Amino acid sequence: MITQLKAAGLSDNEAKVYLAMLELGPAPVQEIAAKAGVNRPTAYVQIEALKKKHLASTQARGKKTFFIAETPENLESLLNKEGVELEARRAELLKAMPELAAPEGWKDEEVADALEVTKDQAFNLLKWYARLELGMKIQKCVTENGSCSFEAEF
């Protein structure tokens, strides 16, 4: 189960603490730490991280504070949010790619000399860039027109 929670974006300790909280129900940090196999300060840090991800909450009972695992369905919301953030980062990278790529007209040998790489490495870099450029053209065309078709040689 730890592996699946880590795949969902939790750290190892977050996953251990979250599982402990699910098993225990409302519990003080000492019990959660013991069940998760972490020390108490680590448990506090992980609970705070889980709270930021909407996977944990607190409840005061008299002078004691109890920590409660939120429903596992919130993991899906976490993944959706991370997917949106990842897509935004991808879009920013795609916008920056033309500035990062070699100037138009460079030949394999010039790229190899400028980057101090072999001719084969330079060729592979230019081939990758050509594919990226085609991908950006396709994305733009599909965004503007709904669909597109291209012929390309690599």
pLDDT of residue 38 exceeding 90, the answer is: yes
pLDDT band at 154 (very low <50, low <70, confident <90, very high): very low
Tell me the C-alpha distance between 62 and 65, whole Å: 8
- Cβ distance 36 to 20 under 8 Å? yes
Domain limits, the chain: 2-74, 101-154
The model's pLDDT over 52-100, given as tens digits with 9 standing for 90+, comes to 999 999 999 999 999 999 988 888 888 777 777 878 888 887 777 766 6
User: Would you give the DSSP letter of residue 102?
Assistant: P
Instruction: Name the architecture of domain 2-74.
Output: Orthogonal Bundle (1.10)
CA 52 to the chain's CA centroid: 16
pLDDT value of position 141 = 62
% of residues, the chain, pLDDT over 90 = 39
Average pLDDT, whole number, for the chain?
79
pLDDT of residue 6 exceeding 50, the answer is: yes
